[in-house]
Amino acid sequence: MTRLPKRNIPMQKGIFLVLEKNIPIWLSLPNKLSWKGMVGMARVGIIVGSLRKESFSKQVAANVVKLFPTGYTSELIEIGNLPIYNQDYDENPPAEYTAFRAQVRGLDAILFVTPEYNRSIPPVLKNALDVGSRPYGQSVWAGKPAAIISQSIGNIGGFGANHHLRQVLSFLDMPLLQQPEAYLANSAELFDENGLIKNTDTVEFLQSFVDAFVTLIKRYQF
């Protein structure tokens, strides 16, 4: 390999690539790229669209986070404390807005787990999406891979909420997992006395869902 002459070059984040003719070059990493992504690691935020203490969505999320591979960490994002979005807050946001936006910015991807309210998403979830998208031009959502799991106690599995949420996330410029789609029906019967999903076929399906999501996340990392 041809050696480069010694220079006093300031250290910065980047990697060496060796191309043809044994010429090494330095490739700087854009700010949005995470070093974690280079070693198969990611921080995944979990947003649950239900405030109920024993909600089925929270139980689903607790089961799903266990299916991510080693190196992937998850954290629940609190949305119930966010004041209803008001544009008057843009110049002087509440502390809850500031903390929420900062938390989302630090994440590599977002998993949404939600029930269905009147064929749509719960208002607390829509409010969180609105808060994170403002002020205009400063959205914390853009470019973050996302996936959706919807659930309902009926047979439809939250289909209406799932697709309504897809519309919103598409507008927010979030790369969205397209397949498989996850609609969990009869959620009141999903869990055993320890809160674990009873049906092995459901667990296997959710594992395939998580695997596909991980593939999407890697696509948007380095």
The Cα 30–Cα 219 span in angstroms is: 15
Q: What is the pLDDT of residue 221?
A: 82
Residue 180 belongs to domain with CATH number:
3.40.50.360
The pTM (predicted TM-score) of the whole model is 0.82
Mean pLDDT of the chain: 86
Find the helix packing angle between 200-219 and 56-64, rounded to 10°. 70
Query: Terminus-to-terminus CA distance in the chain, angstroms?
Result: 26
Q: What are phi and psi of 170, to 5 degrees?
A: -65, -45
Number of structural domains found in the chain: 1
Q: Which helix (H) or strand (E) holds 147?
A: strand 146-151
pLDDT computed for residue 114 by the predictor = 98
pLDDT at residue 142, rounded to an integer: 97
Asked, for residue 27, whether it belongs to a domain, the answer is no
Domain that holds residue 169: 34-219
Within-domain flag for 26:
no
Q: Is residue 3 part of a domain?
A: no
pLDDT mean by block of 10 residues, the chain; 222 residues: 42 38 38 44 96 95 97 96 97 97 97 96 98 97 98 94 97 98 96 96 98 96 72
Tens of pLDDT, residues 139-162: 999 999 999 999 999 999 999 999
The angle that helices 159-171 and 123-133 make with each other, rounded to 10 degrees, is: 10
Q: Is the dihedral of CA 157, 159, 165, 166 positive or negative?
A: positive
pLDDT of residue 40: 61
Q: What confidence score (pLDDT) does residue 82 get?
A: 98
**Residue 54 to residue 56: CA distance in whole angstroms:** 7
Per DSSP (E only), the strands in 140-222 are: 146-151, 182-184
